[in-house]
Chain A
Amino acid sequence: MRQLSHLQALEAEAIYIIREVAAECEKPVMLYSIGKDSSVMLHLALKAFYPEKPPFPFMHIDTTWKFKEMIQFRDEVAKKYGLDMIVYSNEEGIKQGINPFDHGSAYTDIMKTQALKQALSKYEFTAAFGGGRRDEEKSRAKERVFSFRNAAQAWDPKNQRPEMWKLYNTRIFKGESIRVFPLSNWTEKDIWQYIRQENIDIVPLYFAKERPVVYRDGNIIMVDDDRMKLQPGEKVENKTIRFRTLGCYPLTGGVESNATTLDEIIEETLSAVSSERTSRVIDNEAAGSMERRKREGYF
């Protein structure tokens, strides 16, 4: 009898998790961040229920500072697969003019964490899929596949429910919710290899191309629109860069690269000298910053 390859085993595990949520949870949603992990998760959801469509909506938390190409990609994908795609922004934050240049970490909190909490409460979702992987960061390495949030949407890392074999306990009280991470056991390399194997569409920003950038605090920031305020001494240059992770353009550092195909990206990933989260500006703040953020409700 044939045995499953490493990627097939990961795929089957993720699909089992996704189906388990669809079968047991009252009102699930799949968070869609437009990044490569979300693209893989969406692909798995399509596969899990085929020929049926995924029996839950998708949701994008739009900070209004995402790369233009991301938004375009999102709309195309939703149309192509006929997805129920909810787009939510923190309107209060927009009114107050919260932006990544002037408000620093408060921006991430208000436009991402708070927006997500508002959206989950507004639609009363009881379970939300996220594309988080345990290889990304140390506190994530300790999070269960089914991660519980109390009514204030906070995570208690010291008191996680035991998760035995693949017997997930999905029972919650009203007001509580579950974050579910079907890609928990995938690595960055697995993601890329799977994207290649399955020919999954991803945002073109992942591929190297000449783009207008500035160098700021050791990061390469792309000037995606004219809201980008230049600091004294900065000038916009055209560089061949690509992104290993996608988010809000002013907070997402690119890397100089000539990788224009998936094979080249995979080769670059295998010989990587820095893990992908270095290019996220917020993670560098302080040891334990991710755990603190997660306890407060960040995905």
Chain B
Amino acid sequence: MQSLLKFITCGSVDDGKSTLIGHMLYDAKLLFADQERALELDSKVGSNSGEIDYSLLLDGLMAEREQGITIDVAYRYFTTEKRSFIVADTPGHEEYTRNMAVGASFADLAVILVDASKGVLIQTKRHTRICALMGIRHVVYAINKMDLVDYDEGVYKQIVVDIRSMSEEYGFESLFTIPVSATVGDNITNPSKTMLWYHDKTLLSYLEEIDVSDKSSQDGFVLPIQRVSRPDRTFRGFQGQIEVGEIHVGDEVTVLPNDTAAKVKSIYNMMEQVDSAVKGEAVTVELDREIDVSRGCVMVRDIKLDVGKMFTAKLLWMDDSRLVEGKNYYLKLGTQLVPAVVMHIKYKLDVNTGQRVNAERLFKNEIAVCDISCSDKIVYDIFSNYKELGGFILIDRVTNMTSACGVVEHPLRREGNLTWHEMDVSRELRAKQKDQKPKTIWLTGLSGAGKSTLVNELEKRLFAEGKHTMVLDGDNVRMGLNKDLGFKESDRIENIRRIAEVSKLMNDAGLIVLTSFISPFVRDRRSAREVVGDDSFIEVYVATSIEECEKRDVKGLYKKARAGEIPNFSGISSPYEVPEHPEITIDTAGQTVEESVEYLMQEIRKYV
């Protein structure tokens, strides 16, 4: 009986992955004659020299041939006397990390190429990390282009030392290194005639012999239910693929998450009625009594799985739009599909160095450790125990995109667990949903200083940057909320108090508020700051001088004030108290509106 080895090849852009596989297929004479002809034909138009370009065998998509890079996984199939192989050739570019992860999720072993003339690069580290993340337990490092370093053993040995120290943290079950030249063909299928110092196996013979069988415990039994088959009233079968262990007719089983028990009445291994079935087989199981079982339930015997709503997981983000904390996704784990929320990004892992980085956002091709909360209980296990019970994807509910894949690290079951339902939708969550820090940007300054103009322009700019904003100014406050207020001192204080309270509510709603009021007195601005909260209050002093303001006098107010027609006019008949410690100060004199706005945006970005 021949076994099957699924492996991937990865390496950085010019490491020669496609060439290596192409050469392996070609050497082993595994190519069908007409594909070989097509290769020679393609090669003439596709490559610069007239020589055979082995990579053209694999880079199948037209876009790839035009760009000369591999953008998606290509699957190749070949058989030797000892083994059948499926090889996924994966792209090396950081931009296509997710495509590499697709290949890695499918494979049992990775062949990672390292350019002998360059040594271990950041990409080598990234590829190793992704392979480990996706559950690969066996790796082979092919130190390629040995011909470029004169087949020097010292160079090879140094790279091997670097590789061993780099990959220590992953604890791979097997790790093999081999010096090769993909273009020349050394140690691919035939032993090198130049590297006589190397005595171990060629790449192909190593791949033919390595044992990658699953070493996870096969005690007990797990069958995630894919489908309930009910062709008529007499038959009710539960269909799925066995993920752990084996099952016999007569076994006592439990169905999770409901935790109901029954006995196995019959087992169909496809069309055959059988006494037992094992891991990997697609079966239909009948139970001896009617219990509530539907797609997504998991049938188990003698094994402890987690049943719960919350867990910590490592995520690889794959979507063009970034991860939003608090946003609802679909989570698919095994045959279960439930709404779920990423509650909290604990930290990001630098894909290249593995360093933990604090983060509030997660972008395409980044890895982070997060807390996830599902809307219903799901049945799962830690990924390192069983891949099939701990690997999941997140699906965007609006675009249907597969946004991320993840692996469960450990369950979250703190006593008195705050479950999602019991959690309040807080100011913080609303803000995160909007991806901004809610602030009240309080512009103060003399009449005619340019506050309203600035506030309107600022709002346009913030809006264009995707921020959620609201402007409060004399126009929309005086006419409604504060139309009962006049100009006496108590009314003036009440006016500012109401504006501050409304700003605070809007901040609570997650909005960035821009206010435009003269607010001439220090004590009024201080009480506004107290209401809004010191952390959220950004005082902007529009420090245009009274001379400049009076010169502009757009509304003719200064003229009337000078004529004594307006009592308590700030700067003329009533003082304007200059802010002592405003967060931002701007003098608009001698500046265009664009220049002023540009400066303010630059400052405001530091806060929002």
Q: Which of A49, A171, A275 contacts B395 (CB 8 A)?
A: A171
- Interface size class for chain A? 35 or more
B8 an interface residue at 8 Å Cβ cutoff?
Answer: no
CB distance from A225 to the nearest CB of B (A): 29
B-side contacts of A31, CB under 8 Å: none
Q: Is the interface of B mostly helix, strand, loop or mixed?
A: mixed
CB < 8 Å: which of B45, B71, B77, B226 contacts A19?
A: B226
B335 CB-CB contact with A under 8 Å: yes
Q: How close is B399's CB to chain A, nearest CB, in angstroms?
A: 9
Give the residue of B105, B230, B284 whose beta carbon is less than 8 angstroms from that of A164.
Answer: B105
B34 touches A274 (CB 8 A): yes
Query: Contact mask A37-53 → B, CB, 8 Å, 1/0?
Result: 00000000011111111
Q: List 10 A-B contacts (CB under 8 A).
A: A6-B4, A12-B281, A47-B270, A52-B231, A134-B75, A137-B60, A162-B98, A165-B106, A184-B75, A291-B60
Q: How far is it, in angstroms, between the C-alpha of A20 and the C-alpha of B225 when the chains are bound?
A: 10
Q: Top 10 closest A-B pairs, CB basis?
A: A138-B60, A275-B32, A52-B231, A47-B270, A15-B282, A273-B33, A164-B405, A171-B400, A23-B227, A274-B34
How close is A28's CB to chain B, nearest CB, in angstroms? 12
Q: How far is the CB of B366 from chain A (nearest CB, A)?
A: 14
| Chain B CB within 8 A of A288 CB | yes
Minimum Cβ distance to chain A for residue B52 (Å): 15
B32 touches A5 (CB 8 A): no
**In the complex, what residues of B have CB within 8 A of residue A81's CB?**
none
For window 198-213 of chain B, which residues contact chain A by CB distance below 8 Å?
A: 213
Q: Is the Cβ of A160 less than 8 Å from the Cβ of B393?
A: no
Contact B231 A53 (CB under 8 A): yes
Pick the contact of B105: A47, A51, A134, A165 (CB < 8 A): A165
**A291-B62 contact in complex given A162-B318, A165-B391, C-beta closer than 8 Å:** yes
Bound Cα distance from A9 to B106, whole angstroms:
14
A158: B residues at CB distance < 8 A: 61, 63, 71-72
Chain A residue nearest in CB terms to B62:
A288
For residue B229, CB closer than 8 A to chain A, the reply is yes
Q: Which residues B29-68 have CB closer than 8 A to chain A?
A: 32-35, 38, 41-42, 45, 57-58, 60-63, 65
Contact: A1 with B241, CB < 8 Å?
no
| Contact A287 B34, CB 8 Å, known A135-B77, A169-B395, A171-B400 | no
Q: What are the residues of chain A within 8 A of B57 when measuring CB–CB?
A: 138
Residues of B in contact, count (CB < 8 Å): 76
A12, B223: Cα distance in complex, Å: 14
**Is the Cβ of A169 less than 8 Å from the Cβ of B393?**
yes
Residue of A nearest to B60 (CB): A138
CA distance A244 to B235 in the complex (A): 41
- Complex partner residue of A167 from B35, B235, B392, CB under 8 angstroms: B392
Residue of B whose beta carbon sits closest to that of A187: B77
Decide: A275 and B231 in contact? CB cutoff 8 A.
Answer: no
**Cβ-based interface call for B434 (8 A):** no
- In B387-414, the 8 Å CB interface with A consists of 387-388, 391-393, 395, 400-402, 405
Tell yes or no: A238 within 8 A of B by CB. Answer: no
A50: contacting residue among B79, B230, B268, CB under 8 A: B268
Assess the A160–B72 pair: CB atoms within 8 A.
Answer: yes
Decide yes or no whether B2 CB sits under 8 A from chain A: yes
Chain A residue numbers with a CB within 8 Å of B3 are: 3, 5-6
- Which of the residues A47, A135, A162 comes within 8 Å of B271, measured between beta carbons? A47
Q: Is the CB of B62 within 8 A of A1?
A: no
Query: Which residues of A are interface residues toward B (Cβ below 8 A)?
Result: 1-6, 8-12, 15-16, 19-20, 22-23, 46-53, 134-135, 137-142, 157-158, 160-167, 169, 171-173, 184-185, 187, 189, 272-275, 278, 287-288, 291-292
Query: Which of B42, B72, B295, B332 contacts A287 (CB under 8 A)?
Result: B42
- Taking the closest CB of chain A, its distance from the CB of B46, in whole angstroms, is 8
Across the interface, name the chain B residue whose C-beta is closest to A5.
B1
Contact partners of B229 in chain A: CB under 8 A? 49, 51-52
19 further A-B contacts with Cβ under 8 Å, apart from A275-B34, A291-B60, are: A1-B246, A1-B278, A4-B280, A8-B281, A11-B282, A19-B239, A19-B240, A20-B226, A52-B237, A142-B61, A142-B72, A142-B75, A158-B71, A158-B72, A164-B405, A167-B332, A185-B75, A274-B33, A274-B34
CA distance A202 to B3 in the complex (A): 27
Which residue, of B41, B98, B101, B400, has the highest number of chain A Cβ atoms within 10 A?
B400
Enumerate chain B residues within 8 angstroms of A134, measured Cβ to Cβ: 75, 77
* B235 pairs with A51, CB closer than 8 A: yes
B99 in contact (CB, < 8 A): yes
| CA gap between A1 and B65 in the complex, in Å | 46
B403 to chain A, nearest CB (A): 9
A171 and B295 alpha carbons, distance in the complex (Å): 16
A165 to B133, CA, bound (A): 12
Q: Tell me the smallest distance from the CB of A274 to a CB of chain B, in Å.
A: 4
Q: Which B residues touch A10, using CB under 8 A?
A: 4
Chain B, residue nearest A44 (CB): B270
Is B74 in contact with chain A by the CB < 8 A criterion? yes
- The chain A residue with its CB closest to the CB of B102 is A162
A20 to B99, CA, bound (A): 23
CA distance A274 to B31 in the complex (A): 9
- Does the CB pair B295–A23 fall under 8 Å? yes
Q: Give which listed residue, B32, B60, B101, B387, contacts A274 with CB less than 8 A.
A: B32
